[in-house]
Amino acid sequence: MLRIGIVGASGYTGVELARILAGHPRAEITVVTSRQHAGQPLSRIFPSLRGRVDTVCVNPSPEELVRQADFFFTAVPHKTAMDIVPPLLAAGRKVVDLSADFRIRDLAVYEQWYQKHSSSELIKEAVYGLPELYRQQIKNARLVANPGCYPTSVALGLAPLLRERLIEPATIIIDAKSGTTGAGRSANVASLYCEVADGFRAYKVGGTHRHIPEMEQELSLLAAEPVTITFTPHLLPVSRGILSTMYARLDHDVSETELQKLFDDTYRDEQFVRVCPAGTLPATQYVRGSNYCDIGFKVDRRTGRIIVITAIDNIAKGAAGQAVQNMNLMNDLDEAAGLTGTPFFP
C-alpha cells in the first residue's frame, strides 16, 4: 500500500481527498495535517468520514512529516505551498500540489498575478497535472502541479478545437459558473448560506481572476500561438460543480457531425472524459462526486460561433479527483484506481 500524506486536510479539498482515498485499493492515508485541528480525528471535523478516515490531525515538522508517508498531497493555499513542497521533494517524496504555485511556467507571469516566488527553481521541473494533455510527463514527474478547477474545465473543452485550428483564438469568451466549495471552508460572510442560497452573481469580472494566466498558458500551448481570453466566473448556489460555457468563432466551415467526430476521437480512450451524444449537453448534476468531465457543444449557424459546454465536479476532477488520478500515474498504478465511482444523481 502506498502511504499517503495530506497536508492541509481540513478544507473541502482535504475531505474530498480523504473520501476518495478511503476507497482506493492501493493507497492508505497515514498522515493528515491541520494546524487548526491538530489532535482531532479528521472524522471529528468531517463526520462523514467516521469509520472510514479516523486519522488524527497532526502538525509535524517537515522532518517528521516526510517519514510518515511515501506520497504527499499539499492542499494548502498558494504561497504556503511553495514553502512546504521543497523539503518533501528533498526527502525523496513525490508530491501533487493543489495550489497555484507550480502551475505557471513563466515566473514573471506568476509573480505578476500572485506574489514573489520562493521556490522558482522547481517551476521548470513541475508538470502540469492534466493527464489528458500531459500523461507521459506526469508519469515521470516528482512534482505535479494540479490544475485549477476552471482551467481543467476549459482546457478539456477547447483542446480539440485549438489543436485543429478550428476556432479563432481571439474570439474566445468563457462564461464559467462554480459551486460554492470553490470559495473554500474559511469563515467569511460572503460564503454564508443566506448570502449564497437562492441567488447568483458574477465575481472577479473584467479579466482579474487568477486562473486566467493558467488558462491562457495552456490554451496558447494548444493553439501554438498566444491566446488571450475573456473569462467571467460566477458563483452558483450549489456545493459542487463547474459548468463552463465557451464561445468562439469557427474559423472553418465544419459540420456538427465532423465536430462530434473530432470530440469523440479525441477522448475515445480517456476514462474520465465523456463526450455527450449529439443533441445532448452536460449538466453539473450528472458528474457530481465523480472524476468525469462531460463535454457537449452546439454550433450557432446564425452567428458562426461554436458553444462548447463542459461540466465537472470542481472538487473532484477540478481538484481532489484529478490529484488522485495524477498520483496513480506517478506511481504506476491503474489510472482509475479509487476513481471508479459513478456520479451520484440525484
Cite the active site residues.
149
**Going residue by residue from 227 to 246, which x/- string records binding to a copy of itself, judged by CB under 8 A?**
-xxx-x-x-xxxxxx-x-x-
Is 42 in contact with 32 (CB distance < 8 Å)? Answer: yes
Q: How far is the CB of 235 from a copy of itself (least distance, A)?
A: 9
Phi and psi, residue 291, nearest 5°: -95, 15
Burial readout 308-332 (b: 16 or more C-beta within 10 A, e: otherwise):
bbbbbbbbbbbbbbbbbbbbbbbee
* C-beta of 154 vs 276, nearer to a copy of itself: 276
Applying CB under 8 A, does 223 fall inside the site for a copy of itself?
no
Q: Tally Cβ neighbours within 10 Å of residue 288.
A: 21
Residue 310 in contact with residue 153, Cβ under 8 Å? Answer: yes
Does residue 298 interact with a copy of itself by CB under 8 A?
yes
- Scanning 10-18, 58-66, 113-121, 138-146 for contacts with a copy of itself by CB under 8 A, the matching segment is 10-18
Q: How far is CA 168 from CA 148, 153, 254, 259, in A?
A: 24, 19, 13, 15
Tell me how far, at minimum, the Cβ of 295 lies from a copy of itself, in Å: 12
- Picking from 129, 120, 125, 117, the residue whose alpha carbon sits closest to that of residue 142 is 125
Q: How far is the CB of 131 from a copy of itself (least distance, A)?
A: 17
For residue 107, the minimal CB distance to a copy of itself (Å) is 20
Measured from the CB atom, is 155 or 276 closer to a copy of itself? 276
- Residue 196 near a copy of itself by CB under 8 A: yes
Instruction: State which of residues 93, 117, 305, 317 lies at the interface with a copy of itself (CB under 8 A).
Output: 305
269 near a copy of itself, judged by CB under 8 A = no
Which residue in this structure is represented by grid cell 469568451?
A: 173
Segment 153-192, which members bind a copy of itself (CB under 8 A)? 170, 173, 175, 177, 180-181, 185-189, 191-192
Distances (CA, A) of 114 to 104, 109, 212, 214: 10, 8, 12, 12
Interacting residues with a copy of itself between 40 and 59 (CB under 8 A):
44, 46-53
**Does 200 engage in binding with a copy of itself (CB under 8 A)?**
yes
